[in-house]
Amino acid sequence: MHDDLSAIATLADVSKNLGSTAVLDRFSLAIRAGEVTALLGPNGAGKTTTVGLLTGRLQPDAGTARLFGLDPARPAARMRMGVMLQASGLPDVLSVAEVVTLQSGYYADARPVAETLAIAGLADLAQRRCGALSGGQARRVQYALAICGRPALLVLDEPTAAMDRASRQALWTTVRSAADDGAAVLLTSHDLEEADALADRVLVMDHGRIVADDSPANLRARAGGSVIRCRITLSPALLQALPGVREARDDGGDRYVVTADAVATVRALCAADPALSQLRIADAALEDAIATLLASNPRNAA
């Protein structure tokens, strides 16, 4: 990992075992200020362990973890970080305003409570008890708790789970604003639309290593121009030889084809199998790009 003066959280040649399983082996990573970094990958890729090391909840077995130049477990480092975990409870009997006020009291330079509530879209819910909140409303409170201390690093784990679309988009706006104001944002999400909308940089993890580190646009370009799904008798190996095709594989009962030239590929499909059916064509999305990367990873070969 090269030196990066804008990096505020780093892992350098870190190894971490959980029980007898080696989750990370000489793993390096840098999270930079003013940037939304999405950490993506399948279950078991090592994302949770990586976040645990960066936030001081786990210690490396070897190598170095640093947060603002300090051990991430040190209070001086953790005070400059806000964390929104996927699973975290709220006290049922306290109101939204009371919970945010309590959390804000831990920070020397906390936002005014009213400002935090407004940013999180909670002004109208300030007096509601947390036990009476919907799942999406509770997530907004957890977001408020993460941002109330004006964090220089904001760690968001599945931040918009259970939110409706309007709430999701409102939160996305505030996350982008935080990065534009200079904060580093680390996002983990299974919602690839969210990652595509928010991230300046996408890190794709698989089997404890980074298999891609690029912008969403560049990753989409890797997937080719279009994705075709169809029912056809041709095997993926035969489809791979058609014009424009970059990847072909089974996808349930369908064939999944990534192509740089959809017109040429569709013409060839029709000529190769008159029984072709259920043809669907779409522009390649971030989800398609990541699926292509993971499918091409030698460690995922059958």
Using one digit for the tens of pLDDT, what is the confidence trace for 284-301?
888 888 888 887 776 765
CA–CA distance, 240 with 244 (Å, rounded to integer): 9
Quote the pLDDT of residue 224: 67
Between vectors from CA 24 to CA 18 and to CA 28, what angle results, nearest 5°?
A: 145
Higher pLDDT, 87 or 20: 20
The β-bridge relationship of strands 21-32 and 153-157 is: unpaired
Q: How confident is the model at residue 63 (pLDDT cuts 50, 70, 90)?
A: very high
Q: How confident is the model at residue 302 (pLDDT cuts 50, 70, 90)?
A: very low
Global pTM?
0.84
**CA-closest candidate to residue 253, choices 236, 230, 276, 279:** 230
Quote the pLDDT of residue 225: 80
Quote the pLDDT of residue 89: 85
Q: What is the arithmetic mean of pLDDT over 200-227?
A: 89
Query: How do residues 222-252 score in pLDDT, each as one tens digit?
Result: 776 889 999 999 999 999 999 999 889 998 8
Show the tokens assigned to 49.
């362990």
| Size (the chain), residues | 302
Q: Which helix (H) or strand (E) holds 103?
A: helix 96-104
Would you say the C-alpha torsion 119, 124, 129, 135 has a positive or negative sign?
A: negative
Asked if 63 and 246 touch (Cβ cutoff 8 Å), the reply is: no
Show the tokens assigned to 70.
């300090």
Higher pLDDT, 160 or 283: 160
Q: Is the pLDDT of residue 281 over 80?
A: yes
**CA-closest candidate to residue 118, choices 93, 97, 99, 102:** 97
Quote the pLDDT of residue 298: 65
Would you say the C-alpha torsion 178, 182, 184, 187 has a positive or negative sign?
A: positive
Residue 269, CA distances (Å) to 69, 225, 240, 251 in order: 56, 17, 11, 17
Quote the pLDDT of residue 260: 87
